[in-house]
Amino acid sequence: MSKLYIVGVGPGKLEYLTLRAYEVLRKVSIVVGYGRYIEQIAPIIRGKTIFTTGMRDEVKRCLIAIRYAAQGYDTALVCGGDPGVYGLAGLCLQICAELSIDIEVEIVPGITAALAGACLVGAPLMRDFVVLNLSDILIPWEEIEHKLRKALEGNFTIVIYNPCSKKKYNIEKVFNIVRQYYHNTYVAIVKNALREGQEIYISKIENVDISKIDMNTIVIICSPHVYFRKGWLIAERGYEPKLRKLLNDRETLEKFINVSPAPRRHSSAY
Ligand code: SAH
């Protein structure tokens, strides 16, 4: 039986594709996706039948993929990042369910933008985080603002996807709201994380430069638990008493940190 694969292709660079995604893309005969993601995986899918559609053609993309899978072709519907994080997994499953189309589906996860961006600036997500999509094309702004306020009340670090959608300046409104809850907090702007054109900016919220933000960007609004040290954003998550104790314990520290060359690995040790 043929199968429909909904495949996350990660943030961009090929080395961030999972092995499973690679395997699936090699074996399917048909690949459907938005032009940018198809380009991203071009070296892997040479010679296959490829369908690309425009940015807003999500429904069309799903229908094409479902049709070919139902006709007996192994088909991959590709999404940037992860297909279940503002990708096409939900819509595709909804269409299959509503139309009672009985095809086998496998969803292949990918590295989502929040994780791709966070690893470049340190470890800001260590102490619980929320992802919030600012696009008010599908979801009303009132709902987005309500969720933002709840996340701020909860002291979460907030990763903003789609910071510049229809109303370009929603992000400005977001910063004005954030300032009512978090004072002196850090903001990271990561453009094109782990792909061509990568740019990273870290600043205090007071000095954030909105002109650096576009639709290829995620914005990480750090919770008050995040501090900045030696170029990294670090979320405290309860290790601090242990760490302080260790720093005062010279003997243990020296044992671990001042080690001479690592012991040779003997196979018998494993
Ligand atoms: N399914 C995707 C998200 C799609 S929504 C995922 O899991 O990553 C599209 C938004 O994701 C963009 O507007 C941008 O905010 C963010 N995004 C996707 N890839 C990105 C990347 N490599 N770097 C920065 N932001 C990215």
Q: pLDDT per residue over 20-54, tens digit each?
A: 999 999 999 999 999 999 999 999 999 999 999 88
Substitution candidate for ligand 1 out of 161, 217, 219, 220 with most atoms within 8 A of CB? 161
Tell me: do 80 and 98 sit in the same domain: yes
Cα-based distances in Å from 128 to 16, 125, 222, 223: 24, 6, 11, 9
Strands 3-8 and 232-235: what pairing? unpaired
Q: What gap in Å lies between CA 131 and CA 148, rounded to an integer?
A: 9
**119 and 229 share one domain:** yes
How many structural domains is the chain composed of? Answer: 2
* 180 three-state secondary structure: helix
Q: Verify whether ligand 1 is closer than 6 Å to residue 81 (CB atom).
A: yes
Per-residue pLDDT, 54: 80
Whether 101 is in a domain gets the answer yes
Containing domain of residue 228, as a range? 114-235
Write out the two tokens for 165. Answer: 């959608």
Chain mean pLDDT for the chain? 93
- Dist CA 258 CA 246 (whole Å): 14
pTM of the model: 0.93
pLDDT tier, 262 (very low <50, low <70, confident <90, very high otherwise): low
User: Any idea what the CATH number is for the domain that residue 215 is in?
Assistant: 3.30.950.10
Ligand 1 pocket test, candidate residues 120, 218, 219, most atoms within 8 A of CB: 218
How far is it, in rounded angstroms, from Cα 65 to Cα 62? 5
- Whether 135 is in a domain gets the answer yes
Give residue-wise pLDDT tens across range 229-247: 999 999 999 899 999 999 8
